[in-house]
Amino acid sequence: MKVLVLGGGGREHALVWKVAQSPLVEAVVAAPGNAGIAALATCVPLDPEDGAAVAAFCREQGIGLVVVGPEAPLAAGVADALAASGVPVFGPSAAAARLEASKSFTKEVCDACGAPTAAWARFTEAAAAKAHLARTGAPVVVKADGLAAGKGVVVAMTLAEAEAAVDDMLGGALGAAGAEVVIEEFMTGEEASLFVLSDGETVLPLAGAQDHKRAFDGDEGPNTGGMGAYSPAPVLTPEVEEKALARIVRPVIAEMARRGTPYRGVLYAGLMIEAGEPRLVEFNVRFGDPEAQVLMLRLASDFVPALMACATGGLADVTLDWRAEPALTVVMAAKGYPGSYARGSEIRGLEAAAAVEGVTVFHAGTRADGGRVLANGGRVLNVSATGATVAEARARAYRAVDLIDWPDGFCRRDIAWRALARDGA
């Protein structure tokens, strides 16, 4: 079978890497891909958000399965276009992708099935939103309803900050994404992410992970797409995971089916866990980036039958085996990220880094230029490792980071500090 993977980041490199190992797969194509993906797949300049073009490409090339990496093609209805033309697709319909594309939709679904989450209210008028804030006080969370590329959530510690966020969002700073705001109760606890697959009915849990959203060590600095991750997440004990599945994930999957918009694909549940009780922070309708990188390193089974079952049904017959060893990834980003940064600087030492025991280097934002690899994004490399312990995986990953010669890059040096603090290491 030929598999097409949509996207060109580290998440997609990890998915391509895993899919290419399947004995069921004869070739992998990626659109647009990157310099690392190009070693495993044919990269094509196809617009991942253009459903008609993707469907036509699949018919011409005899693609047997499409795996959608990012949320934008899903929200744009690419899975619908593929399903309509009979191409199996891993990823939800636009209607089901509203679980990420609309915060108020997700809250309604949670309320309909009793899934625990922060108390909330929605507003399109600043005066009404501020009157509500006067009642809630701070801290409080203000969110743009729609997709805002990570800029749509303001955790406001003061009322003034919350009011400013309301004015910004309803004033059009985020475009249509901010035309409605959701104001939420501020939840305390420890965050972790739980990933599950669904074919619309069956839920197959994958594994948990934790990421590091802030740019700098000690969880300082601006919010990013994620500067590192590790799996498993110690806070997500089997008991907490079972509560999250029973109270949040399974009821939401059932509610989506009841509404006639069954959820097919991977569901990423961002959880806040306090005193062993999980509540939902948000859903994403795709793998996390860089969480996918650590999940793929820990997955022992062939992933393709599970991806195909999400697309076509029969997930109840699929089982997946996981390696017990933890996996960890360190994101190397271009200096300046998540603000403005330069592209085009050369990265050396990638082969030496990849030769470190237990290490795999995924490319997140690179492009090939002859024999050279150039930085081509904010998050550029995911230096990833497995090990007998988190400490070993981390030592290996940083050994590899130190072999990479890229003066224009930076990374956090404290990935997995929570897990290590728990171990008393």
For residue 152, the minimal CB distance to ligand AMP (Å) is 7
State which residue, 108 or 191, has the beta carbon closest to ligand AMP.
Answer: 191
The reply on whether position 338 binds ligand GLY by CB under 6 A is no
State which residue, 177 or 197, has the beta carbon closest to ligand AMP.
Answer: 177
Provide the 10 A C-beta neighbour count for residue 399. Answer: 16
For binding to ligand AMP (CB under 6 A), which residues are involved? 118, 141, 150, 153, 155, 184-187, 191, 213, 270, 281-282
The reply on whether position 358 binds ligand GLY by CB under 6 A is no
For residue 200, the minimal CB distance to ligand AMP (Å) is 25
The H or E element spanning position 143 is strand 140-144
Give backbone dihedrals phi and psi of 379, rounded to 5 degrees, phi first: -90, 125
Burial class (CB in 10 A: 0-12, 13-18, 19+), 108: middle
For residue 267, the minimal CB distance to ligand AMP (Å) is 15
- Which residue from 211, 241, 255, 408 is in contact with ligand GLY, where contact means CB under 6 A? 211
Residue 49, contacted partner among ligand AMP, ligand GLY, none, CB below 5-8 A by kind: none
The reply on whether position 180 binds ligand GLY by CB under 6 A is no
For residue 201, the minimal CB distance to ligand AMP (Å) is 27
- Which residue from 7, 51, 226, 228 is in contact with ligand GLY, where contact means CB under 6 A? 226
Give backbone dihedrals phi and psi of 337, rounded to 5 degrees, phi first: -60, 140
For residue 227, the minimal CB distance to ligand AMP (Å) is 13
- Which residue from 104, 202, 284, 366 is in contact with ligand GLY, where contact means CB under 6 A? 284
Residue 211, contacted partner among ligand GLY, ligand AMP, none, CB below 5-8 A by kind: ligand GLY
Number of residue whose CB is nearest ligand GLY: 226
For residue 288, the minimal CB distance to ligand GLY (Å) is 4
Largest CA distance in the chain: 61
Q: Of the candidates 385, 378, 386, 375, which has an alpha carbon nearest to the alpha carbon of residue 348?
A: 375
For residue 422, the minimal CB distance to ligand GLY (Å) is 21
- At 191 the three-state DSSP class reads strand
Q: How far is CA 156 from CA 139, 153, 185, 218, in A?
A: 6, 9, 11, 20
Indicate the Cα dihedral angle 204, 207, 210, 213, nearest 10°: -50
Residue 191, contacted partner among ligand GLY, ligand AMP, none, CB below 5-8 A by kind: ligand AMP
The H or E element spanning position 166 is helix 159-170
- At 222 the three-state DSSP class reads strand
- Rounded distance, CA 159 to CA 327, Å? 40
Q: Which residues bind ligand GLY (CB under 6 A)?
A: 211, 225-226, 284, 288-289, 291
